[in-house]
Amino acid sequence: MFLIGQYDSPFVRRVAIALKLYGLTFEHQPWSTFGDADKIAPYNPLRRVPTLVLDDGEALIESTIILDYLDELVGEAKAMLPRSGTDRRKHLRICALASGLGDKAVSLLYERVLRTEQLALWVERCQAQIGDVLKVLEAERAKVATPYWLGERIGHADVAVACVVRFTREAHPQLFDASRYPALSAHAERCEALPPFKEIVQPLAPPKG
């Protein structure tokens, strides 16, 4: 199977890191949604990443769907997300907040680099959403005494948060002050020290308008 997308995307990166953590073999096609959209289209008509193409040609789109498939593939004992219950809902909530933060951070970046004149109302809204989510995630992580969000073992929420924190820091350094988010910063540093995070990384290279 092969994964489409560049690793400066927090969504592509979280999928690639999950693949590495699961010990699954894959090829990487670092196609850009801007420069390589025509290459992506046969696999994903939305021309979005991540897209994971399986050995039989089936193409899975959106990180949540891809990770659900990977969890099923490796089995419940290895899966980084509980199959049911309160812990699953808690984990999914953190994943949803992290994904939403990533969406807004990407949108704000595109607004800056692709528009000659930025729409002030949209910029303010994105900045407010980013700030509010960071506050919630900081408060949630500060309450957790274990190495990872739901215990001693890394999960999808941990990967998602670490990836979007890195992206937000690089894309919008003015919106992420480590002194304001010490718990999130410590969490990101713990994750980034792991071999899969060190291997699956790419400096941010935004598109040009």
Of the listed ranges 58-72, 104-118, 181-195, the one predicted with least confidence: 104-118
Percent share of the chain, pLDDT over 70:
100
**Domain residue ranges in the chain:** 2-79, 85-198
Q: Is the pLDDT confidence value at 159 over 80?
A: yes
What digits encode the pLDDT tens for the residues 164-205?
999 999 999 999 999 999 999 999 999 999 999 999 999 998
pLDDT at residue 68 in the model: 96
- Confidence at residue 108, expressed as pLDDT on a 0 to 100 scale: 95
pLDDT digits (tens, 9 = 90+) for 119-135: 899 999 999 999 999 99
Q: Which two tokens stand for residue 82?
A: 């509980």
**Which CATH superfamily, name and number, covers 2-79?**
Glutaredoxin (3.40.30.10)
Q: What rounded mean pLDDT belongs to the chain?
A: 95
Q: Residue 209 has what pLDDT?
A: 56
Listed residue (165, 159, 189, 205) closest to 8, CA to CA: 205
Fold of 85-198: Glutathione S-transferase Yfyf (Class Pi); Chain A, domain 2 (1.20.1050)
